[in-house]
Amino acid sequence: MLALLKREIRIAWRAGGGALTGVLFFLAVVTVFPFAVGPDTKLLSHLAPAILWIGALLASLLGLDRMFAQEREDGSLDMLVMQGHPLMLVFFMKAFAHWLMSGLPLVLATPLFGIMLNLSPLGIGATMITLLAGTPAISFIGAAGASVAVKLPRGGMLISVLVLPLVIPVLVFGIAAITGALTDPAPFTTPFLFLCAITLFTSVLGPLAASVMLRHSAD
Amino acid sequence: MTMTSETAIRSNASNLWGLANPTRFMGFANRAIPVLGIATMLLFAIGLYLSFTAPEDYQQGYTVLIMFIHVPAAWLAMMTYSVMSISALGSIVWRHPLADVSLRTAAPLGAVFTFLALATGSLWGKPMWGTWWEWDARMTSVLILFIIYLGIIALSKAFDEPSEAAQPLAIMTLVGVPLLPIIKFSVDWWNTLHQPASVSRFDRPAMGPEFLYPLLIMALAYMALFFTLHFMSMRNEVLARRIRAMKMKQARRK
């Protein structure tokens, strides 16, 4: 399992692997927003958590179609399916590696982009924690989406269409938690715990769906 | 055990298993569709008559009539997804082609019912709440259901070989199932604009009988309409697959 994780990370860091592309894309989305809504710092700091979350969401969706497609092309997916480990664990590892390479860099880049958007330190902290708790869920749900579209030659767009409605709860509770941290009467803990619950729930459901899907897809 | 005796045992086991045989299903559908069609028309005739003769609401005036179209459409939007999830289970567990046919043909119907619920809700919301659209929990969750329906339809069209789509469709459908309780309870969990349920309550409906009966008859009419259309399009899909199989056979022979 650890070997699989190492392998995934090596592939992602290799040229063209796309680990850094995600952060670049995140930067691009964050940069585009002030152009669209105007450079009003007050408005921007108000919108900043939303911009960061949407940027992270879109950047996480970016690499999903590659999660299984390349493995399927070169046949290593069949090897993964046929070796002895429980398939669900294998896909959990793959989704986790996807998060390490796409979600975690975004979390680490959040303080920088938060300052650019004039977000308060408390807001930056809240955004980072909620992104840390929430983005794994995107990867886990995305694993299910990617496994569904693995046989499609042009599945990239379709995966996003399928996955986006399912990750909306993640977004809702993430933003609710940030709002709770920044404004007084709204609670932070309740939506944050819901967010953690969603991530734990999807960490089972996503790999399970992917393993059911891909177990019999070997051809 | 030979193939024929196995199917004989299966078909004798119960009627439901018998219907799982496509040929038997076709026979059943051919008999059921006219009956269901007539039932649909009768129910709609009675339901629409009762709806239009229902008294004005003392607060909402005549706009309350929208309810008789809106509420059953919303119920059917959820019932269709339940039918699809049960089909998805059948498609995954028994890998039965008919379950896949049922799932695939129900999706467009569900999308239409969901759209109808959203559109009539919007028309109702304008005079009542003063807005066409509000991002309230009930509306947003139904909108997500609509997007999921469209995604499933897009996925079902994306494969060259229809049988390859069976597994992905079933899994995608099951992944969306948690949305149903969210839609149902969204009016209770989040205190928002949309009014809470006023029919399915444990004590007694909060609605007067002059509104309740037309509503229930309209709901039955919608259900009959759904099953009529669903059986019809399932029959079409089975026929289309047979034609496809014959074409393949012919192409191979040449």
pLDDT in tens, B213-241: 888 899 999 999 999 999 999 999 888 88
Give the model's pLDDT for residue B192.
59
Q: Which residue of A has its CA nearest to B179?
A: A166
CA distances from A140 to A28, A167, A193 (A): 24, 10, 18
Please report whether residue A192 resides in a domain: yes
Taking residues A172-178, report their average pLDDT. 88
Whichever domain contains B115, its CATH number is 1.20.120
Please report whether residue B7 resides in a domain: no
Please report whether residue A191 resides in a domain: yes
Mean pLDDT of chain A: 82
Please report whether residue A210 resides in a domain: yes
Please report whether residue B20 resides in a domain: no
Question: Which has the higher per-residue pLDDT, A141 or B137?
Answer: A141
Distance CA B181, CA A124 (A): 34
Please report whether residue B18 resides in a domain: no
Q: Which of A23-37, A78-92, B74-88 has the highest mean pLDDT?
A: B74-88
Across the interface, do B175 and A165 touch by the CB < 8 Å criterion? Answer: no
Please report whether residue B147 resides in a domain: yes
Distance CA B215, CA B209 (A): 9
Q: Which domain holds residue B200?
A: 35-253
Distance CA B166, CA B93 (A): 12
Question: Which has the higher per-residue pLDDT, A83 or A48?
Answer: A48
CA distance B95 to chain A (A): 11
Identify residues of B whose CB sits under 8 angstroms from chain A CBs.
92, 144, 147-148, 150-151, 154-155, 158-159, 164, 167-168, 171-172, 174-176, 182
B192 CB burial (10 A radius; 0-12, 13-18, 19+): middle
**pLDDT band of B76, cuts 50, 70, 90:** very high
Express as a percent the part of chain B with pLDDT over 70.
81
pLDDT beyond 90 at A216: no
Q: Which domain holds residue A181?
A: 2-8+20-215
- What the block records as the tokens of B242 is 């047979």
> Nearest Cβ partner of A148 from B148, B150, B155?
B155
Give the model's pLDDT for residue A19.
64
CA distance A45 to chain B (A): 22
Taking residues A169-195, report their average pLDDT. 85
Taking residues B120-138, report their average pLDDT. 80
pLDDT digits (tens, 9 = 90+) for A7-58: 777 776 665 556 677 788 888 888 888 888 877 878 888 888 888 998 888 8
Give the model's pLDDT for residue A209.
85
Residues in chain A within 8 Å Cβ distance of B147 = 161, 164-165
The count of domains in chain A is 1
Over the Cα atoms of chain A, what is R_g?
Answer: 18
The count of domains in chain B is 1
> Can you say whether the dihedral through the CA atoms of A121, A126, A128, A129 is positive or negative?
positive
Q: Which of B101-110, B129-138, B153-162, B183-192 has the highest mean pLDDT?
A: B101-110
Across the interface, do B158 and A152 touch by the CB < 8 Å criterion? Answer: yes
Give the model's pLDDT for residue B57.
67
Question: Which has the higher per-residue pLDDT, A187 or B15?
Answer: A187
Distance CA B9, CA A84 (A): 37
Output the 3-class SS for chain B. CCHHHHHHHHHHHCHHHHHCCHHHHHHHHHHHHHHHHHHHHHHHHHHHHHHHHCCCECCCEHHHHHHHHHHHHHHHHHHHHHHHHHHHHHHHHCCCHHHHHHHHHHHHHHHHHHHHHHHHHHHHHHHHHCCCCCCCHHHHHHHHHHHHHHHHHHHHHCCCCHHHHHHHHHHHHHHCCCHHHHHHHHHHHCCCCCCCCCCCCCCCCCCCHHHHHHHHHHHHHHHHHHHHHHHHHHHHHHHHHHHHHHHHHHHHHC
pLDDT beyond 70 at B205: no
**pLDDT band of B149, cuts 50, 70, 90:** very high
**pLDDT band of B195, cuts 50, 70, 90:** low
pLDDT beyond 50 at B13: no
Which candidate, A64, A80, A84, places its Cα nearest to that of A72? Answer: A80
Please report whether residue A15 resides in a domain: no
Q: Which of the 8 DSSP states describes residue A18?
A: -
pLDDT digits (tens, 9 = 90+) for B109-127: 999 999 999 999 888 888 7
Question: Which has the higher per-residue pLDDT, A143 or B135?
Answer: A143
* Lowest mean pLDDT, pick from A93-97, B100-104, B191-195: B191-195
Q: Which of A78-82, A184-188, B199-203, B226-230 has the highest mean pLDDT?
A: B226-230
Give the model's pLDDT for residue B199.
59
pLDDT beyond 60 at B10: no
Supply φ then ψ for residue B61, to 5 degrees: 70, -145
Express as a percent the part of chain B with pLDDT over 90.
25
Mean pLDDT of chain B: 81
Across the interface, do B174 and A162 touch by the CB < 8 Å criterion? Answer: no
Give the model's pLDDT for residue B197.
63
CA distance B169 to chain A (A): 8
CA distance A14 to chain B (A): 31
Distance CA A174, CA A168 (A): 10
pLDDT beyond 70 at B203: no
Please report whether residue A162 resides in a domain: yes
Residues in chain B within 8 Å Cβ distance of A147 = 168, 171
- Beta-carbon count within 10 A of A46 CB: 16
Across the interface, do A158 and B174 touch by the CB < 8 Å criterion? Answer: no
